[in-house]
A = this chain, B = another copy of it.
Amino acid sequence: MSSLDQDEIAKTFGLLKIPKNHATVGFSNMVVATKQYRSLFVNRRLGDAGWSDVQIQSFIFLLSTLDTNNKATTSGGGSVESRWCGVGEREGRVYSSLVAHRHFGLSHGMGRSGDITEPQPKAAGSSVLVKLALLLVLDVVRRGSGLNGKAKGPAAHGILLPLCTGMTMALVLSCIREAENDNKKTIVLWSRIDQKSCFKAITSAGLTCIVVPTKLDKDSDSVITDMEAMEAAIKEHEGKVLAIITTTSCFAPRVPDQVDKVATLCAEHGVNHIINNAYGLQCPQTCKLINRACVVGRVDAIVSSTDKNFLVPVGGALVLSPQKALVQGVGKVYAGRASSSPILDLFITLLSMGMNGYKGILAKRQDMLQTFPTRLEQVATKYGERILKCPTNTISFGITLDNLALARTDDEREEDYLKAVAKDISAFGSMLFSRCVSGTRVVPRAQSKMMGGHEFVGFGSSVEGYPHAYMTAACAVGLTTEELDEFFLRLDKTLQEKHNNKQSKRSSLS
């Protein structure tokens, strides 16, 4: 990537008395590395094979030398010549070399005051890195996850933000509000899903959230989109609805919303449609569903988290959209510069995976899916429980926990009994956690929670009156076989223990 050419280097090698054939081998290695760089620049796609850590670091440091501030990250003392002199209020100065080191000398972050995607004059290397990261992740969701990347497809355009899905949702809403530029449109219809951050995103954007109830599917245990309720709501608030938010990745028994049907509705009523697809990029069924929604109706934005889909630390989100204007608008709504750290993590990870590596982790999840529900069912059956039938949720699985608690005694009031049961069931969740099982959710029946002035009856199951207590576990990307085996063992043991406790309690009662 520089103007040092091979002839010069060959000459140098000669002067250094490195034999010609060694140099040749070295060059062939370097040429391959360079080819990868060039291929990245020219094709702006992710190669099939992953890059080695050496190549990745070599490339990032090369980009880092393009920035103006690397003078500041020198260790050892003051003898580094200051090519640049900075007399601004923010010059990418970094005090600690530990800090500089963990950022490969990059310190300018991303974006400018007007737009988070705007390149920075002082930081050409950072700008390139951020642009490339977006191109790579778009390539991955298209060729890896299977989202349609052609014009009007869900992955036609995208923007990466160093924010989680909740805040990103708020930005998307702000952007849509600005685009609509209609003061009356202040309502967001939200197909109920019992999770705080999306709800908060709506209110913190200064909008009103109308929770549209879901319903229990009559042929399964699934909690599904209530299309009638949705349509009723849209009609009730005609002219005031800014957007509908649906969700495609969720805990069982909630299943992905019927986003194709909602998309049709949105098209009919001229309402924006945002899909909360936090961790659905790993799921081919969900990606197909989203593709379809874009064909049959209206989808304005799909919001996904980077950590849950790409195995990076918490902190980034990807907004996809069939419309260029939307992602551009989102970039402009983010007012100011931002940390590029989450984007850098993604960039490193994608290069390290290569397309084969990404497809590999998806394939590994599919493999586990073959047995996950069966094995879960086996454990459940041992204790008189059963798996919840939610065929369209292929990430999160649930089993009933209806026999975990003692039966109601004659002299117990129903209300007291229900409270006791809820406590008992929740305690089971703690038992699992204290046995180093993380990520399960244990949901008793008939709980309620107030959130932003709205009461969520049956909180946890995203529907009122779900007929079971249950627990969920996810077969998500990155799960290892060893973890999985261990999980089933510990689940079994913990259920056994819980039942033993129940037995002994019963004895003591009688």
A101-B53, A165-B336 known; A124-B479 Cβ under 8 A? no
Contact at B49–A73, with CB atoms within 8 Å? no
Contact with B along A5-46 (1 / 0, CB 8 A): 110110011011111011111111111111001100110100
Q: Is the CB of B53 within 8 A of A483?
A: no
B336–A197 CB distance below 8 A: yes
Chain B residue numbers with a CB within 8 Å of A278 are 89
Contact B16 A131 (CB under 8 A): yes
A90 touching B201 by the CB < 8 A rule? no
- 29 CB contacts below 8 A, A to B, read A2-B33, A4-B37, A16-B127, A25-B122, A54-B73, A57-B57, A57-B104, A57-B105, A58-B64, A72-B478, A75-B97, A76-B353, A78-B480, A79-B353, A79-B360, A85-B484, A85-B487, A85-B490, A87-B438, A87-B439, A88-B473, A91-B476, A113-B200, A163-B163, A169-B335, A178-B203, A199-B335, A339-B341, A339-B342
The answer to whether A64 touches B75 (Cβ under 8 A) is no
A9 CA / B66 CA spacing, docked (Å): 12
Instruction: Tell me whether A395 and B479 are in contact in the complex, defined as CB-CB below 8 angstroms, given that A164-B337, A345-B99, A349-B95 are known contacts.
Output: no
Contact B437 A87 (CB under 8 A): yes
Task: Please name all residues of chain B whose beta carbon is closer than 8 Å to the beta carbon of A32 when the two chains form the complex.
Answer: 83
Shortest Cβ distance from A335 into chain B, in angstroms?
A: 3
Contacts of A476 in B (CB 8 A): 87-91
Cβ B483 vs Cβ A85 within 8 A:
yes
Residues in B neighbouring A436, C-beta threshold 8 A: 28, 68, 83-85
The contact of A31 among B2, B61, B82, B96, by CB within 8 Å, is: B2
Known contacts A6-B3, A108-B314, A200-B114, A77 near B95 by CB under 8 Å:
yes
- Chain B min CB distance to A355 (Å): 9
A296 interface contact, C-beta 8 A: no
Known: A314-B338, A473-B87. A200 touches B332 (CB 8 A): yes
User: What is the bound-complex CA distance between A23 and B124, given in angstroms?
Assistant: 6
Cβ-defined contact, A75 with B57, below 8 A: no
Is A504 part of the contact surface with B, judged by Cβ < 8 Å? no
Q: Flag if A49 contacts B79 (CB, 8 Å).
A: yes
Q: Cβ of A335: which chain B residues have Cβ within 8 Å of it?
A: 166-167, 169-170, 196-201, 204
User: A197 with B438: in contact, given A76-B50, A349-B76 (CB under 8 Å)?
Assistant: no
Q: Which of B52, B81, B434 is within 8 Å of A70, CB to CB?
A: B52
Cβ contacts under 8 Å, A102 to chain B = 102-103, 345
- Whether A338 touches B2, Cβ cut-off 8 Å, given contacts A87-B487, A105-B52, is no
Count of this chain's copies in the oligomeric assembly: 4
Contacts of A54 in B (CB 8 A): 61, 64-65, 70, 73, 100, 104-105
Complex interface: chain B residues within 8 A of A264 (CB): none
Asked whether, in the complex, the Cβ of A114 is within 8 Å of the Cβ of B196, the reply is: yes
Interface string of A128-162 (1 = CB under 8 A from B): 10011000000000000000000000000000001
The CB with the most chain B CB atoms within 10 A, among A81, A132, A178, is that of A81
Assembly CA distance A354 to B95 (angstroms) = 12
Contacts of A251 in B (CB 8 A): 89
Q: Interface 1/0s, chain A 465-503, versus B by CB < 8 A?
A: 000000001111011101110110010000000000000
Question: Closest B-chain residue to A308, C-beta based?
Answer: B90
Please tell me if A334 contacts chain B, counting CB pairs below 8 Å: yes
* Closest Cβ neighbor of A75 among chain B residues: B97
Which residues of chain B come closer than 8 Å to A27, judged between CB atoms?
A: 66, 124
B residues in contact with A162, CB < 8 Å: 162, 315, 339
Docked-complex contact A348 and B87, CB < 8 angstroms = no
Question: Per-residue 0/1 for A251-286: is the Cβ within 8 Å of any B Cβ (1 yes, 0 no)?
Answer: 100000000000000000000000000110000000
A6 to B41, CA, bound (A): 12
* Cα of A132 to Cα of B113 in the assembled complex, Å: 30
- Nearest to A1 among chain B residues (CB) is B4
Residues of chain B within 8 A of A197, CB atoms compared = 113-114, 335-336
A34 is contacted by which of B4, B6, B124 (Cβ under 8 Å)? B4
Q: Are B336 and A164 in contact (CB under 8 A)?
A: yes
Indicate whether A307 reaches chain B with its CB closer than 8 angstroms: yes
Residue of B nearest to A55 (CB): B65
Interface check A447, CB cutoff 8 A: no
CB of A127 within 8 A of CB of B51, answer no
- A171 on the B face (CB < 8 A): yes
Q: At the interface, yes or no: A356 with Cβ under 8 Å from chain B?
A: yes
